[in-house]
């Protein structure tokens, strides 16, 4: 077979997609399916709670924390771009900013839950609204937490000066996950705070 290919014109170089990117796309598809089910449940159960509190009485739109999370998508993109260009210090700064913005968002969720539980008396077992609200927002917060753990470990490696330019591809895969978490928040925000209120 090899002797045959000698007589042939030189073939195109054989390049296939990065397995990290493909794997992450598949994971995102799976996660999207999970979120879809929770979102459908949320939409279906709007207004079906037989007891209070109802969402229009207790929910406040978390605009500041939403801005934090959505802008962290931009900062992580810039961070990976900086690393790709070999500017490791700038990468570290933008990465840290992403981490802070993500942590702020999670803190915002924590504060909101604290208010709802202690001031409004809404828990996951209070009524159907509580069940769907804490499940959907909690599922998202869980994904933010997983993302923050990943971001923090990269930050730790950066502090140890272990993150080099050649890791830009891997961090790009991680940033895809973070973009996904942000995109899901757009859906959750729309469903919970705009449609459901």
Given the rule CB under 8 A, which residues bind other proteins? 1-2, 4-5, 11, 14, 16-19, 22-23, 26-27, 29-38, 41, 44-45, 48-51, 124-125, 127-128, 131-132, 135, 139
Q: Judged by CB, which is closer to other proteins: 35, or 65?
A: 35
CA pair distance 183, 186, nearest whole angstrom:
5
Q: Judged by CB, which is closer to other proteins: 132, or 175?
A: 132
Q: Judged by CB, which is closer to other proteins: 2, or 9?
A: 2
Question: In this structure, what token pair is assigned to residue 150?
Answer: 């990943």
CA pair distance 178, 19, nearest whole angstrom:
18
Question: Shortest gap between Cβ of 41 and other proteins (angstroms)?
Answer: 6
Q: Judged by CB, which is closer to other proteins: 43, or 63?
A: 43
CA pair distance 152, 174, nearest whole angstrom:
12
Question: Shortest gap between Cβ of 75 and other proteins (angstroms)?
Answer: 28
Question: Shortest gap between Cβ of 69 and other proteins (angstroms)?
Answer: 22
Q: Judged by CB, which is closer to other proteins: 26, or 156?
A: 26
Question: Shortest gap between Cβ of 54 and other proteins (angstroms)?
Answer: 12
Query: Count of alpha carbons within 13 Å of 196, Cβ hemisphere only?
Result: 30
Question: In this structure, what token pair is assigned to residue 124?
Answer: 């996951």
Question: In this structure, what token pair is assigned to residue 81?
Answer: 């771009």
Over 120-161, what HEC string results? CCCCCCCCHHHHHHHHHHHHHHHHHHHHHHHHHHHHHHHHCC
Question: Shortest gap between Cβ of 193 and other proteins (angstroms)?
Answer: 21
**Stretch (H or E) spanning 57:** helix 55-58
């Amino acid at each position: 077979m090899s002797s045959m290919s000698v007589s042939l014109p030189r073939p195109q170089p054989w390049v296939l997609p990065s397995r990290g990117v493909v794997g992450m796309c598949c994971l995102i598809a799976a996660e999207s399916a999970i979120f879809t089910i929770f979102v459908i449940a949320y939409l279906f159960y709007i207004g079906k709670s037989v007891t209070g509190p109802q969402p229009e009485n207790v929910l406040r739109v978390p605009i500041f924390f939403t801005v934090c999370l959505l802008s962290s998508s931009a900062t992580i993109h810039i961070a990976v771009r900086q690393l790709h260009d070999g500017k490791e210090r700038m990468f570290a700064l933008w990465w840290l900013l992403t981490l802070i913005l993500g942590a702020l968002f999670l803190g915002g969720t924590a504060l909101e839950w604290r208010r709802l539980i202690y001031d409004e008396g809404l828990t996951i077992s209070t009524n159907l609204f509580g069940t769907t609200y804490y499940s959907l927002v909690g599922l998202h917060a869980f994904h933010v937490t997983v993302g923050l753990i990943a971001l923090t470990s990269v930050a730790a490696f950066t502090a140890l000066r272990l993150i080099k330019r050649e890791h830009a591809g891997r961090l790009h895969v991680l940033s895809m996950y973070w973009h996904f978490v942000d995109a899901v928040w757009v859906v959750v925000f729309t469903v919970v705070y705009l449609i459901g209120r």
